[in-house]
Amino acid sequence: MKYLHTMVRVTDLDASLKFYRDALGLQEVRRSEHEAGRFTLVYLAAPGDEDAQIELTYNWDPEVYTGGRNFGHVAYAVPDIYAACQRLMDAGVTINRPPRDGRMAFVRSPDNISIELLQDGPALPPAEPWISMANTGAW
């Protein structure tokens, strides 16, 4: 058995790519348009880790999706949790659970999918502004 991908439905493909690709730093691995089924699939992966992919499913006909929190979360290890969170904030992403412990943070995609960021290796020493930053919303 081999892990292939995690699928999340998105309501605005451009906004989702801005989040997953441009802010989070994932790279597009492949994309397919399915005119008969009226949907687009975009597969993304962390640089150098194409075996673990996230599939964005965009249905061309508008739908309302609920329960983003019920999905759980997608998790990525990052080499510097503080730099990753700063890059996301600079891209306009809200840090829902700041990395006060130097190890873990949560953000949400435009479709309310929780994304957990974990420090790769030992936790970084606690640092400002993170240790003073309050939680925002839910994750």
Q: Which residues are part of the catalytic machinery?
A: 116
Give the Cα separation of 86 and 92 in Å (integer): 10
Give the Cα separation of 137 and 96 in Å (integer): 6
**Quick check: 105 and 72 in contact, CB under 8 A?**
no
Give the Cα separation of 94 and 137 in Å (integer): 9
Q: Is the peptide bond before 129 cis (omega within 30 degrees of 0)?
A: yes
